[in-house]
């Protein structure tokens, strides 16, 4: 080992010691911030129980709003906070669906969209804009599989994939 290597090694050890001394108060403060009150622990346990039941973090967030579960700042916990609270809590795996259950879901999905394409294409042939069609589909009760109303850009995509009568099948 050369003199330069030894000097650099000693300097590195000295800097390491300085950093450790500067970090001690910060680490102590961070540990104090993690100490929870009994109420906080009960809320976290409730969130963990919901997670063990198989609920998604978004659903748990909605339950927190309803039940008044809050963070220290008084706000509804974010998805990131809920994820941190339930870090070691395993969400149960969904049971594998049988073939008949999958067929039932598929038929339910098809029934939900029955007539949608014809409805959209008929309105488009009459010269309605995508936004107007989106509004009419919402009034008619058509929804996405998530349960949201169809947006104008989704209508445009459906029309584009099924040869828009206004543009002669060209992409615009």
Q: Are residues 79 and 122 in the same domain?
A: no
Residue 2 lies in a domain: no
Q: Show the domain range for 59.
A: 38-85
Whether the model pTM is above 0.85: no
Q: Any idea how long the chain is?
A: 172
Residue 31 lies in a domain: no
- Number of separate domains in the chain: 2
Residue 146 lies in a domain: yes
Contacts (Cβ under 8 Å, ≥6 apart) of 130: 152, 153, 155, 156, 159
Q: What is the pLDDT along the chain (172 residues), one digit of tens a residue?
A: 788 888 988 889 999 888 888 877 776 555 445 667 888 888 888 998 888 888 888 889 988 988 888 888 889 999 999 988 888 776 666 666 556 555 555 555 455 566 788 889 889 999 999 999 999 988 888 888 778 889 999 999 988 888 755 655 555 4
Residue with tokens 């929804």: 143
Residue 57 lies in a domain: yes
Residue 80 lies in a domain: yes
Q: Are residues 70 and 107 in the same domain?
A: no
Residue 31: its pLDDT value, please?
45
Residue 77 lies in a domain: yes
Digit-coded pLDDT (tens) for 64-90: 988 888 888 889 999 999 988 888 776
Residue 48 lies in a domain: yes
């Amino acid at each position: 080992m050369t003199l330069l290597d030894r000097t650099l090694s000693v300097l590195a050890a000295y800097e390491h010691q300085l950093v450790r001394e500067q970090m001690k108060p910060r680490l102590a403060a961070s540990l104090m911030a993690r100490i929870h009150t009994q109420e906080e622990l009960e809320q976290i346990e409730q969130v963990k129980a919901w997670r063990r039941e198989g609920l998604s973090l978004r659903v748990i967030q909605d339950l927190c709003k309803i039940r008044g579960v809050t963070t220290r700042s008084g706000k509804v916990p974010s998805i990131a906070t809920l994820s941190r609270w339930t870090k070691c809590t395993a969400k149960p795996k969904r049971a594998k669906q049988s073939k008949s259950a999958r067929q039932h879901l598929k038929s339910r999905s098809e029934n939900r969209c029955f007539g949608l394409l014809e409805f959209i294409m008929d309105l488009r042939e009459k010269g309605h804009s995508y936004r107007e069609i989106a509004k009419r589909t919402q009034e008619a009760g058509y929804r996405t599989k998530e349960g949201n109303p169809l947006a104008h850009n989704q209508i445009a995509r459906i029309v584009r994939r099924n040869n828009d009568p206004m543009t002669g099948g060209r992409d615009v």
